[in-house]
Amino acid sequence: MSRDVNPFGLRMPPEVKEELEKLAEQNRRSLNAEIIVRLEESIRREKDKCISEDGLRRIVSEELDKRRQ
């Protein structure tokens, strides 16, 4: 990771931190790297769930075409 990233203080429940530390060890990552990987995965999944504007237009257009028939 780039050295130009500013530190970010994060408060979390101790049990969450302990679980993340265990997972980081299993995945041979630092706690910081584990948190970043998990956040990136969460962001990616959220983006995958979202419909693009073009996708929404296509769905609406298809539905309107069905109703016109």
Mind listing the pLDDT tens digit for each residue in 42-67? Answer: 998 888 777 778 888 888 999 988 88
The pLDDT of residue 29? 97
Mind listing the pLDDT tens digit for each residue in 18-31? Answer: 999 999 999 999 99
In a domain, 9, yes or no: no
In a domain, 7, yes or no: no
Q: Which domain holds residue 34?
A: 14-68
Model pTM? 0.66
Phi, psi (5° rounding) for residue 43? Answer: -65, -45
Q: How many structural domains comprise the chain?
A: 1
Beta-carbon neighbour count of residue 49 at 10 Å?
7
Which residues 6+ apart lie within 8 Å of 37 measured at CB?
Answer: 27, 29
